[in-house]
Amino acid sequence: MQRSPTAASHNTFTIRGELKQITVLFADVFGSTELIEALDPEEADRRLAPCIETMKEAVHRFDGTVVKIQGDGVMALFGAPNPQEDHAVRACCAALAMQAAFRALPAEAPPVRVGIHSGEVLARVIANDFSNEFDATGLTVHIANRLQNLAPPGGIALSSATLRGARQFVSVESLGTQPIRGLSAPLEIFLLTGLRRGPNSQRFSNEIGRSEFVGRDTEMAVLERGLERADEGDGCAVGLVADAGIGKSRLCFEFTERCRARGIRVLEGLALAHSRATPFEPVIDVMKALFEMTPDDEPERAREKIITVLQSLGVDLGADLALLFDFLGVADPATKLSRADPVVRRERLNGLFRRLIRTAGATTPAVILLEDLHFLDSGSESLLEVLAESLPGTRILLVVNFRPGYAAAWMHGDHYDQVSLAPLRRGAADQLAAQLLGDDESVAPLLSLMADRARGNPLFIEELVRKFEESGDLVGERGVYRLRRSPDMRLVPDTVQAIIGARIDGQPEAEKSILQTAAVIGREFALPVLARLVGGLASQLGNVMHRLASAGLVYEAGAGGDDLYAFRHPMVQDVAYHSLLSEKRRNLHAAVAAELEKTLPDPNGAQAGFIAYHWEEAGNPLQAASYSMKAGTWHGTRDAAQALQAWKRAHRLLSGLSLQGQQRYPLLMASGQIVNLAWREGLTAVDIEPYYTEALTIARELGDMRAITLLTAAYGRVLAASGSAEDYVATVDDVLATVDDSVRNASLRVVLTAILCHALRLSGSLSRALEANDRALARVKDIDDIDQQTLGFSIAIWINGMRAQILAMMGRFDEARPLLDALIAADETTVDVLHRLLAHATQCDIAWALGDLELLDFHSKQALQLAERSGNPYLLVYGKGYAGLAQAIRGAHSDATTTLSDALAYARRRNAGLENEARLLADLAHVQLRAGLVDRARDTAEEAAAVARRRGAKVWLAYSEWLIGGPASASFNSLVEATGAELLRRLSHPRA
């Protein structure tokens, strides 16, 4: 069947539409053209009508929706408009039912061929002159249609996407990779050969590389207590309740495996979402297990097994034996079962079932496991109630599991215990993720990202790993992956999307609309903002939020009366968000941004980045860039990493616009701030050179001397970390020479003088550095607020911190200490973490020179704590380095070697704090020398000297020369004399 597009007209329009993950099925009669070639239209319709009805009946049996009937075939949808988390399985079941029904048609009936594909579609209701019709469009529909044409006569072709969603329940054969018209790359196609029905224990047992079972000791203990009680003759039931993916089935598998290992019999039944199409199946599974029947048993063999088991139990069913055979689908054709009223038949079945349970459980302990009761058909529910009521006095433990919201009348009393499974705790979730990913260093950053994304749901963790592998982000195999590229953490695996999408689609229209709007606002959302966005639904908001919370989709995140809600799981937000059409999403984002501008106490502060995100998603890059710049400015004195990201976002947005003349100033500012923040976040001169060049070009075009000055100074600072300190000094000197002494440049000259002080200190020109510091300190009040904001921290604090560092290195400890104490004692809002840490670090050097081990220990620990708390790579290099120094002076040479080596490797790996690389190497050489590893120490010291020369760092070159040639070395003493680094002389002559 070829699906032709519907012609558009002014009488056809879309009422509403959403993006959905569903499964599309196309089926047609193979060879229909030849079949009806010689027939008139009326006769042709009569010949094809039974085929079409057979197709429709199979689709409807599994709750699918036929949306098109055209000539010789149908197009059907599973998952929309009826929400179904197992839409891929249902489509496969319908196709197999269709195939079987066609075989039962008269011999001359032609075969059916079916194509099935799962993916995203635009699902919508189309109104025309006659009716409203549900429809789906998109690439997924095209692929399903092409698969039908590629299916062999009488065969069912499905895609790998459908197979992923149904893999636990179907058997397939690969048809190889085949080109699909309209697609650039071929697809692997599979031939559906049948269904695989079996308990979850089979799935877990056959799973290759099954993940580690973690974090369920408490719940396992409840099951063990239930088993002990049943073993004592007091049969009981335990119910396990949890959301999809939390691990109900895995817990049941691990428990029943323990039971089997002890020789305890386990009878299993599993309800499926499409079980209602085949009533009693879960209970039939349990009874077949009781009678040890297998799928391969012929009816006669099955009847023999049933009779053998009944005889062993001493049970004579009499006339009910034929009823049992019929119920289990192995009726004896020679025995005619009398027709009975359905109520009478049900009562006979209940009595038969009750008798079997009581007899089978009278002497031997057993476990009956029934899973996913929320999918149970009414007939099975009735028999389950009989089973539960029959437990007392038997040695049977009934274990059931189900999702929140399911309840049954028998679930109460002394013989029932219920356990709610919570998501895995962070440690257990990380353990599971680590076991799936492996221990390669590259995958370590994924652990925290997956923890936030999966929120302790084991299924979601496993499916995320699978998704990352399929997307090419991970290479290798389970347990030994390597990260190839950073994954998009917003992706939702197909299986997870099906589960969540069905839950959302199952909500009434008002709840669903409000949930989608909330998803646009963010992970957390305030009710007053949401109320202004949902229009006429605002009056229902309180009740709707209560129902959504009861459904486990959102929860109240604020304290009482805060009206703050959040999504229960981040993937719930993502699925709700991505179901919206792009135009509606853009309009909602614009409305949210405008609302936040009006309602936030300080829209230009901490939440500016949030507003920027909404303006960008609304398709307004200029507004988004403006708020990104505000976010960058606000974070500049608080969090360098977030500030850098905000400025990079602003740069990306502005780069996409056609800006001329003064309009380019924001782009200059964004590039300049990226250069300015680079040193704190481990970016190298090579990384930021394009930003520097771009900003410098714009600044020259605009004749902006301040921009040229600050930009070049910032670039010089990056040179110090990843290039040469001497080049840094030269760069700042050149810029200072171009700035006159006019009043309008007073602030600029102070800033540049402070920057020159920094460059001179790093180069080892301590006397000149102190002179520059004196000049900057004398004029610090001339610094404008705009220049303070440009550098991102207090320049006065910086100048004082550098002064203390210079004085300490020159051996003038009494002058340095008061400055350091003041920095450490100051309020955290006054002195940022960088300068606080460096003050502790300088105290470490003074303590080292004085031989004060207690003081060194104290300040090194403080420095490391500050670094670890900040998570800043630059600060971590310094924190780890001084921790290693303290270990060395305590005589813990092995620990010190490890710490310093790790700090060095981390600095190089993250390109952070590399102006300190020569110092770290020299400290490491010093430890090795103290440990008696003379040759190794000399090699490390020579490497330190080479780095110091390359970086133009004369102080650390002097330190290295002392370690190479000893304190009497001419080169060491010459360098100390030239730099004024008397602290090194104190260290090399501890008695002086």
pLDDT tens column, 697-712 = 898 888 887 888 778 7
- Residues 6+ away with beta carbon under 8 Å from 792: 636, 637, 640, 643, 673, 676, 677
Could you say which DSSP state residue 486 is in? -
Asked whether the beta carbons of 694 and 682 are under 8 A apart, the reply is no
pLDDT by residue (tens digit) across 737-747? 877 777 778 88
Cα within 13 Å of Cα(947), Cβ side: 23
Interatomic CA distance for residues 129 and 338, integer angstroms: 53
Please state, in angstroms and rounded to a whole number, the distance separating the CA atoms of residues 947 and 724: 10
Residues 6+ apart with CB under 8 A from 236: 226, 229, 230, 391, 392, 397, 398, 415, 416, 417
714 and 687 Cβ atoms separated by less than 8 Å: no
User: Within the chain, what is the greatest distance between any pair of CA atoms?
Assistant: 117
Residue 333's CB is within 10 A of a number of other CB atoms, namely 6
pLDDT at 10: 43
Contacts of 171 (CB under 8 A, 6+ apart): 192, 193, 194, 195, 196
DSSP three-state, residue 124: strand
Query: What is the pLDDT, as a whole number, of residue 38?
Result: 54
Structure-token pair, residue 513: 């609309």
Residue 575, judged by CB atoms within 10 A of its CB (0-12, 13-18, 19+), counts as buried
Distance in angstroms (rounded) separating the CA atoms of residues 694 and 688 = 10
DSSP 8-state secondary structure symbol assigned to residue 234:
-
- Band of pLDDT at residue 3, cut at 50, 70 and 90: very low
CB atoms closer than 10 angstroms to residue 167: 15
Write the secondary structure of 796-816 as one string of H (helix), E (strand) and C (coil): HHHHHHHHHHHHHHCCCHHHH
Residue 750's identity, in one-letter code, is V
DSSP for residue 539: G
Q: Is the pLDDT of residue 603 over 60?
A: yes
Mark residue 111 as left, alpha or beta (left: phi above 0; alpha: psi -120 to 50; beta: remaining). Answer: beta
Q: In the chain, what percentage of residues exceed pLDDT 90?
A: 50
Encoding tokens for residue 916?
A: 């300190």
Residue-wise pLDDT for 237-261, tens only, equals 999 999 888 989 999 999 999 999 9
Residue 14 near residue 574, CB atoms below 8 Å: no
Q: Which two tokens stand for residue 384?
A: 């389950």
Given a cut of 50, whether residue 287 has pLDDT beyond it is yes
Q: What is the pLDDT of residue 35?
A: 60
Q: How remote is the C-alpha of 92 from its chain's centroid?
A: 30
Residue whose pair of structure tokens reads 């060095």 in the numeric block: 904
Is 220's pLDDT higher than 90? yes
What is d(CA 84, CA 64) in angstroms, rounded to the nearest whole number? 9
Flag whether pLDDT at 749 surpasses 70: yes
Single-letter amino acid, residue 820: L
Token output for 550: 């009861």
Burial 59-98 (b: 16+ CB within 10 A, else e): bebbbbbbbbeebbbbbbbbbbebbbbbbbbbbbbbbbbb
pLDDT of 130 over the 70 cut: no
Q: What is the pLDDT of residue 41?
A: 67
Could you read off the pLDDT of 491-515 as tens digits, one per residue?
888 888 888 888 898 888 889 999 9
Question: For residue 254, what are the CA distances in angstroms to 216, 271, 398?
Answer: 10, 19, 15
Burial class (CB in 10 A: 0-12, 13-18, 19+), 992: exposed
Q: What does the pLDDT read at residue 262?
A: 94
Closest CA to 962 of 946, 945, 979, 978: 945
**Separation between Cα atoms, residue 87 and residue 166, nearest integer Å:** 9
Cross-strand pairs, 112:
29
Kindly compute the dihedral angle of the four CA atoms of residues 457, 458, 462, 465, in this order, to the nearest 10 degrees. 50
Cα separation, 608 vs 64, whole angstroms: 46
pLDDT of residue 132: 66
Check whether 301 has a pLDDT greater than 60.
yes
Assess contact for 863 and 882: CB atoms under 8 A: yes
Start-to-end C-alpha separation, the chain: 98
Structure tokens at 323: 């009823």
Tell me the pLDDT tens digit for each residue of 812-860: 999 999 999 999 999 888 898 999 999 999 999 999 999 999 999 999 9
Helices vs strands, H then E, count in the chain? 43, 18
HSE, side-chain direction, 13 A CA sphere, residue 726:
8
What integer is the mean pLDDT of 895-908? 93
* Residue type for position 187: L
- Report the pLDDT value the prediction gives residue 499, as an integer from 0 to 100: 87
Dist. CA 526–CA 210, nearest whole Å: 42
Q: Work out the average pLDDT over 888-894.
A: 92
Residue 12 has pLDDT above 50, yes or no: no
Residues in contact with 324: Cβ distance below 8 Å, sequence separation at least 6, in sequence order: 306, 317, 352
Inter-residue contact 787 to 676 (CB < 8 Å) = no
CB–CB of 948/956 below 8 Å? Answer: yes
- Check: CB of residue 157 under 8 Å from CB of residue 175: yes
pLDDT band at 792 (very low <50, low <70, confident <90, very high): low
Cβ-in-10-Å burial (0-12, 13-18, 19+) of 38 comes to exposed
Pairing type for strands 474-477 and 524-526 reads: unpaired
Q: Which residue has the higher pLDDT, 148 or 910?
A: 148
pLDDT of residue 187: 92
* Contact present, 197 and 371 (Cβ < 8 Å): no
Distance, in Å, from the CA atom of 15 to the CA atom of 753, rounded to the nearest integer, reads 67
Rounded to whole angstroms, how far apart are CA atoms 894 and 883? 13
Most trustworthy range by pLDDT among 88-92, 567-571, 720-724:
88-92
Mean pLDDT of 909-924: 89
The secondary structure of 419-473, three-state, reads EECCCCCHHHHHHHHHHHHCCCHHHHHHHHHHHHHHCCCHHHHHHHHHHHHHCCC
Closest CA to 55 of 42, 37, 68: 68
Give φ, ψ of 757 to 5 degrees. Answer: -55, -45
The per-residue pLDDT for 316 is 85
Name 92's Cβ contacts closer than 8 Å, sequence gap at least 6. 116, 156, 158, 162, 166, 169, 170, 192, 195
Segment holding 653, helix H or strand E: helix 640-655
Q: What is the mean pLDDT of residues 274-301?
A: 86
Q: Which residue has the tokens 């963790």?
A: 461
416 has which bridge partners? Answer: 237
Residue 411 pLDDT > 90, yes or no? yes
CB contact at 8 A, 946 and 969: no
Mean pLDDT across 950-979: 93
Quick one: average pLDDT of 418-435? 90
Is 237 strand, coil or helix? strand
Q: What is the mean pLDDT of the chain?
A: 88
> How far is CA 245 from each of CA 319, 537, 709, 769, rounded to the nearest angstrom?
44, 32, 58, 62
Separation of alpha carbons 730 and 733, rounded Å: 5
Report the half-sphere exposure of 671 (CA within 13 A, side-chain side): 23
